[in-house]
Structure 1
C-alpha cells in the first residue's frame, strides 16, 4: 500500500506559463494530436504499459498525421491496434518494407491505415492515414519493460518527448527518409525521421496527458515512492499524474523495496524463458590500479543546470582516483580540449594532476556542436595500450543522431574496456547511452536533476572501482539452456543485482549456479533453485534484449545479421528497427487518399532554451494549399520537400535550426549543412575484390601474431587506397583506419573479417529505413 509520495524536486516540475504541445489554433482548428494516455501496471521488477494516442481531423479533407515520440529504450512493443468509427483493426507485425508497402497501398486506395515503426531503441514513429473530416482515431501500443534496480530501489522511467539531436555530416541528395527538419546526412542517413519540428512557446491548450501507474507489491514491502512530476495517490496502490502536466520531460517513479535472489521460469510450449536475479551481499571490492579516460560533453545543448551538473559529476570522478591510477580528461564540442599541463596522454593521478583537471573542468561552459565521435575514438586509442583495468566514462545528454556511426566506429574497439555513461537531461537519449554502456559491460546512469546527482555519482563511483565478482559463468543442473539465448553476464557490483535472461527447453525445473572469482581471485558461486511462474512479459523482455544485442552488432558493421533480426522479431512478436506493425481497414473512406499530411510538432524539452526559429524559418503554407504527394511518398509533400503546416499569421511548430539541436547555444558553432547543386555519391567496391581480400585474410589466420599484424596493416593500406579511388567510401575508409591504428591483433583480425563480410554483403538491399 502506498502511503506517501515524495516529490524529487518541486521547483523543477512547475509548468512553464503559456506553453503547450501540439495544440496550435488556426483558422481550420488544431494540429491532430489531442491526447496521450499512459497506463502502467508495475509488478516486482516488470511493468506492463498501454499507450493510447488520440488523433482528430479538424479539416474538411482527409488527413494523414505523423507523430514522432519516445518509449522506454528497453521496452518490448508487442501489440498495436487502431480504433475509428466503432471499428477495431488489429496491427500485424511484418518486415518493415512489406509493412510500408501495405500501408501505402491502403492509403492510396482510400482506406484507413496506421503504421508503427522504430527508428531508435527509444524513438518511434506512428503514421495514421485517411482520418476523415471531423473524425477521431485512436491507436493503442502495448509494451512491457524491465525496471532497473539498485541500492534497494527500482526505477520506472517513461519518456514523453524526443529532444532535438545534433546531426553531423554532409546532406545527402535524393528522397529524404522522413519529414523532419534536418536533412539526411552521410553520418545520419535517417536524420529526417528523428527530428520532428519543435513547437514555439506561447501556445496554450497543450495535448491532454494522462498517466497512471498501479503498483503491485508482489510480496515485497514497498517503503517509499518518489516521483519527478506532480502525482496524486489514489485508493490502493495507484498514482496518477495531476492534470496540466506537459509532454516535455521524462516521467520517473522510484520505488523502494528489497529484492531477493531468484530463478523464475515461464514456460511457453516446449520452451520457456528464465530470469535469474542474484542479489549480492554487502561487501567492499578490492581496489586495483586502473586507467580512466573521462569524456565530457560541453556542447550547446548542455546549457544551464546540465553543464553545472556535468562539471560536478566529472570533478567527482577525478577526485575518487588514487595515486596508483592513471587518467585523462577530454572535453569536447566541435573541438577536443585537454587540461593545461596534462597533455593528451594518460597522466598519473597525483594530487597535483587531479587539481589541474578539476580546475579545467570548473572553467568549462556550454558551446558549439556535439561532435562526439572524435573524442570517443581518442579515448579508445588512449586505453588501447593499457595493461590494467581500463575505464571510459562519458558525461553527456546524449543528444546526437549519429548513434549507429559512433557504435560502428568504436564498438569493436571497446572490447575489454568498461564503459560507463552519465546522461544528464530531463529528456535524455537513454537508448544510445544504454547501448554504449552495454557494449563495454558498464553502467548507464541517468540524472534528471541536480538533486539526483549525488546518488547517481555514488553508483558510478562504485562501478569505476573493482567489481565484487568477475569472470562469471553459468552451470545448469536439470535445466536445458539454449546457449546462444543467454544474455551477457558481466560482473557483480556491490548493491547491484545480477540479472540474466535466456531461453530453455524441456521441463521447467532444476537449478542454475553462477560461478566467478571474487576480489581476491578466489572461487565464488551462488546456486539458485528454479520456480515456475506465470509471467508472459518475461518472454517479450528477453526477445527485446536479444534484438538489441543483434541490432548493436549490426550497427557495429555486421550487416549479415539482418535476416536473424527479422526472424527473432517476427517469431516472438516484438517490434524492432527491421519490422513494423501495420493496421489496415477494409473499408474505403476517402477516395483519392489524404488531402493533407501533417507531422505533429513536439514541445521543447524542459530546461532547454527556446528554439531559434530565425535560424531557419519554416515555410508557413496553408494546409489547404498543400498538394498531396504521390502514393508511397514521404509525409509532408513531394519527396524532399519541407513539411507544411497550417498558419494564421503567427509562428507554428518549427524546426529548431538548419543546424543540429536548434536551440540557442547548441546551434551557435554547428556546421550548417549545405546542399551542393549535385553531390556525387561514392561508388561501391567490387565484391570480387573484397572476397579475394577476405580469402587471403583467412588463409593467414595461423601466422604468428607479428606477421598477422603486418598483414592487417598492409590490408588497411590497400583498403584506404581503394576508398579514395571510389570517391571517399565511408565504410571502407573507416575499416582501413581501424586496421592501420594498431592494437590487439585478435580484435583487429575480427574487425577485419566482420568488416569485409559486411561490405561484401552490402549493396544487395537499400537501407532498411528507406525501404
Structure 2
C-alpha cells in the first residue's frame, strides 16, 4: 500500500521539477542577453556607480609597400578603478600575420620587449607581476589568436603596449586586399581542445558596454589615387597621408581593397630584394585562363552547413542564402546531399541523391527549417561527408565536391585538420567562411588540407558572386603538381609543397636564392598537359632607382621576415600531420629566436625594472571583453559554449515533464 502511494508522489515530483526547468529555460531566451552581457563586461561596483573595470583602445598604423604591409598596433589599457589590476586580452590577428616586435610605455619610459622561449617568458612575467613590476607578455594561442597580459596597472593609470606586425597583402581576382579581424566569434571547446581556457574570452554587446574602439591610418605605396580604395565594412575618410577610420567599434573584420598595380597579362611577377647579405625573391604567379567546357562535368555536391549557436543572426541568414543559391545551380546530372550539424550531425539523405525537382524541393525545405542552436561538434559531420559512398553513378565521371559552410568557431582545429587530411580520398573540400568575424586560419587550413580553396561571405547580400565562383570557376585547379627549379644555383621556396592554383587565384610564394641565380623555371600540369614558365629575375632593387624599386627595397627586411614566417609555418604543418608532437620544435624555436618572432614556442616579454605596486596592495585580475561580432545573435539564444542550446534544453524539459505527467496518470489509474 505504501509503495502504491509512493509512485504517484515520485512522478508528481518529477513532473513539477521538469516543468520548473522548462519555465526557467523559456525565461532564458529573454534574460540571456542581459546575463551574459553583465558577466562579460567585467563590471565592478563602486559607490559612484558601475564602471568598466578595464578599458581598451586600439590604434593601427598601416603602411602598405607592394605586396606586404607593416602594421603598428598600439593598445592602450586604462584602469578606471581604484584597484591594482592585471589585465588580459584575447585578440585576433590575420592568420599569416608576423608579430616581430613589442614595446611598453610606462610614464615617460619605453621598455623594449625581448623574445624568449615561451616557458621562460611566462616564468619571467609571473615573477615580475608578483614583485609589483609593470610587465607585459604576448603569447600565441592559435596562429590567428594571441593573448596580451599586462601586470600592475595602477588605479586610474594608463599603459600603452605597441606591437610591430608584418602582413602579406591578399591577391584575388586582380584586387589587392587587407583583412584585419578586430574581434572573434566565441570558440566552442570540448575534450579535444588543447588548453581550452586559452581561447576563452569575455564577450559583450555595444549596447551594454563601451567595448574596445579602433582608429586606423592607412598609406599604400606606390598607389597615388586613393579614390580607388574601398571598404565593404568600414567608412574610409581622407587624411593628410592617405586614409583613416575613426572611433569604430571592434565588432567585425576590417576589409580594405584596391586595384592591383601589376600587369595583369603577365603570368609571373618576380620581385628581388637583398637583406643581411641574403637574396630573396617574392613571386606572384597568375594561373593561365581556365578553359570553360561546353558541357559541365557532372558532380556530387555535399554541403556541410553549421547550425550551431555561434551562427545565430546574420551568419545563419547568409548560410541559408548560400544553400539556396547552390541548390538553384544544380542540374539533373548532379547528385546532392546536405549535412547540418550542431551538437550532432543531421544529414538530409542517408546518401547523395540524383537531382530532380523533388530533391530540390526537399533541399529547400531542409534549408528553410535550419535554426542556429547548440554546440559546434564538426567532426561527426565531416566524417559523414568524407566517408560517404562516392560510387553514386558508375557510368559517369563525376567530380566530388564537399563545401563546408561555417564560421569556424572551434578551439580544436588541429584534430579537425588531421581528420580532413587523413579521410579526404579523391574528394576536394572547399570552405565558405560565414559572417563578420570567422576563424579565417582554420577555414584556409581546412581548404588547404582538402586540396581546395576558401571564400568568405559577410552576410546574405554577399552570397551570389562567392558561391558562383566556388561552384563553377573553382571546381578544378588550373595548375597542379607545381615545382620550381634553379638552373644556375639553388634556392629554398615556401610554402612547401607549393599549392595548386585555381582560376583568378594567384599564388604568392617567397624563396631565398643564392647569388648566382638569374632565372627560375616553374613547372606543373595544366589541364593534363605539361606547363612550363621560365622567369628571368630582375636586378636587385639596390641596382636601380625607380620609385617601384625603391618601394621594394624598403620592404626587403619584410620579405626576409616573410620567408622565415613561411618556413616556420611549413615546419608547423609537418608537425601537425606527424605522430611526433614535437617534430621540428627545436628548429622552429631557433628560427623564431633569431628573427624575433612570436610562435607556439616563443613569446615577447617586457618588464619595468622598478616595482611600482606596494607589496601590501592586492593585484586583481581582469579580462578585457571582446565585442560580440556585428549581427551575431548567439547571446540571445545559446547557453555557454560546450552546452546544449536553449532550444535543446526546452525540448528536453518539455519531454521530461510530459513523460512524468503521463506516468503519474497511469500510476493513479492502476491504484484506483
Structure 2 CA distance for aligned equivalents of residues 503 and 388 of structure 1 = 41
Q: CA RMSD in A?
A: 3.2
Tell me the CA shift for residue 31 of structure 1. 2.2
- Aligned partner of 1:193 in structure 2 is 198
Matched, 1:466 2:476: yes
| Alignment match of 2:534 (pick from 510, 527, 547) | 527
SS of match in other structure, 1:477 = coil
Matched, 1:234 2:243: no
Tell me, yes or no, if the aligned pair for 2:376 and 2:410 is still in contact at 8 Å: yes
Superposition pairs of residues 274-285 of structure 1, within 5 angstroms: 274-285=281-292
Structure 1 CA distance for aligned equivalents of residues 456 and 314 of structure 2 = 14
Tell me the CA shift for residue 43 of structure 1. 2.6
Tell me, yes or no, if the aligned pair for 1:303 and 1:665 is still in contact at 8 Å: no
- Aligned partner of 1:645 in structure 2 is none
Q: Judging changes above 3 Å, is the alpha-carbon distance between structure 1 residues 41 and 131 closer, same or farther for their aligned structure 2 residues?
A: same
Superposition pairs of residues 244-259 of structure 1, within 5 angstroms: 245-259=248-262
Q: Judging changes above 3 Å, is the alpha-carbon distance between structure 1 residues 197 and 459 closer, same or farther for their aligned structure 2 residues?
A: same
SS of match in other structure, 1:420 = strand
Tell me the CA shift for residue 124 of structure 1. 0.8
Structure 1 CA distance for aligned equivalents of residues 652 and 416 of structure 2 = 18
Tell me the CA shift for residue 46 of structure 1. 1.9
Tell me, yes or no, if the aligned pair for 2:474 and 2:502 is still in contact at 8 Å: no
Q: Judging changes above 3 Å, is the alpha-carbon distance between structure 1 residues 276 and 389 closer, same or farther for their aligned structure 2 residues?
A: farther
Bigger share in helix: 2
Structure 1 CA distance for aligned equivalents of residues 421 and 650 of structure 2 = 30
Structure 2 CA distance for aligned equivalents of residues 155 and 494 of structure 1 = 17
- Aligned partner of 1:550 in structure 2 is 571
Tell me, yes or no, if the aligned pair for 2:211 and 2:626 is still in contact at 8 Å: no
Q: Deviations over 1:69-110 (max 9, x none)?
A: 111111111111111021111111122111101111222222
Tell me, yes or no, if the aligned pair for 2:233 and 2:255 is still in contact at 8 Å: yes
| Alignment match of 1:515 (pick from 507, 523, 529) | 523
- Aligned partner of 2:337 in structure 1 is 328
Larger Rg: 2
Tell me, yes or no, if the aligned pair for 2:479 and 2:501 is still in contact at 8 Å: yes
Structure 2 CA distance for aligned equivalents of residues 122 and 62 of structure 1 = 30
Tell me, yes or no, if the aligned pair for 2:173 and 2:505 is still in contact at 8 Å: yes
- Aligned partner of 1:588 in structure 2 is 611
Matched, 1:56 2:38: no
Q: Deviations over 1:491-541 (max 9, x none)?
A: 22222212222332334x41222222222x222222222233422222223
Tell me, yes or no, if the aligned pair for 2:374 and 2:645 is still in contact at 8 Å: no
Runs of at least 5 residues in structure 2 that lack an aligned partner in the other structure:
1-36, 542-552, 654-672
| Alignment match of 2:219 (pick from 194, 207, 214) | 214
Runs of at least 5 residues in structure 1 that lack an aligned partner in the other structure:
1-18, 169-185, 616-655, 672-771
SS of match in other structure, 1:547 = helix
- Aligned partner of 2:463 in structure 1 is 453
Tell me the CA shift for residue 559 of structure 1. 1.0
| Alignment match of 1:503 (pick from 505, 512, 517) | 512
| Alignment match of 1:443 (pick from 428, 431, 453) | 453
Structure 1 CA distance for aligned equivalents of residues 226 and 162 of structure 2 = 33
Structure 1 CA distance for aligned equivalents of residues 279 and 45 of structure 2 = 54
Tell me, yes or no, if the aligned pair for 1:471 and 1:517 is still in contact at 8 Å: yes
| Alignment match of 1:373 (pick from 364, 369, 379) | 379
- Aligned partner of 1:357 in structure 2 is 363
Tell me, yes or no, if the aligned pair for 2:41 and 2:209 is still in contact at 8 Å: no
Tell me the CA shift for residue 206 of structure 1. 4.3
SS of match in other structure, 1:611 = helix
Give the paired residue count: 586
Superposition pairs of residues 80-479 of structure 1, within 5 angstroms: 80-168=102-190, 186-199=191-204, 202-203=207-208, 205-217=210-222, 223-235=228-240, 238-243=242-247, 245-260=248-263, 261-286=268-293, 288-322=297-331, 325-339=334-348, 343-349=349-355, 353-382=359-388, 389-414=399-424, 417-462=427-472, 464-479=474-489
Q: Judging changes above 3 Å, is the alpha-carbon distance between structure 1 residues 258 and 369 closer, same or farther for their aligned structure 2 residues?
A: same
- What is the TM-score when the length of structure 2 is the normalising length? 0.79
Superposition pairs of residues 358-757 of structure 1, within 5 angstroms: 358-382=364-388, 389-414=399-424, 417-462=427-472, 464-482=474-492, 485-507=494-516, 509-519=517-527, 521-531=528-538, 532-533=540-541, 534=553, 535=555, 536-556=557-577, 557-561=579-583, 562-592=585-615, 595-609=619-633, 611=635, 657-660=639-642
Deviates more, 1:220-229 or 1:556-565: 220-229
SS of match in other structure, 1:143 = strand
- What is the TM-score when the length of structure 1 is the normalising length? 0.70
Deviates more, 1:77-86 or 1:375-384: 375-384
Q: Judging changes above 3 Å, is the alpha-carbon distance between structure 1 residues 657 and 311 closer, same or farther for their aligned structure 2 residues?
A: closer
Structure 2 CA distance for aligned equivalents of residues 381 and 106 of structure 1 = 52
Tell me, yes or no, if the aligned pair for 1:154 and 1:256 is still in contact at 8 Å: yes
Tell me the CA shift for residue 413 of structure 1. 2.7
Tell me the CA shift for residue 553 of structure 1. 4.0
Tell me, yes or no, if the aligned pair for 1:301 and 1:666 is still in contact at 8 Å: no
Q: Deviations over 1:372-396 (max 9, x none)?
A: 1111122222277799644321001
Tell me the CA shift for residue 359 of structure 1. 4.0
Q: Judging changes above 3 Å, is the alpha-carbon distance between structure 1 residues 283 and 444 closer, same or farther for their aligned structure 2 residues?
A: closer
SS of match in other structure, 1:378 = helix
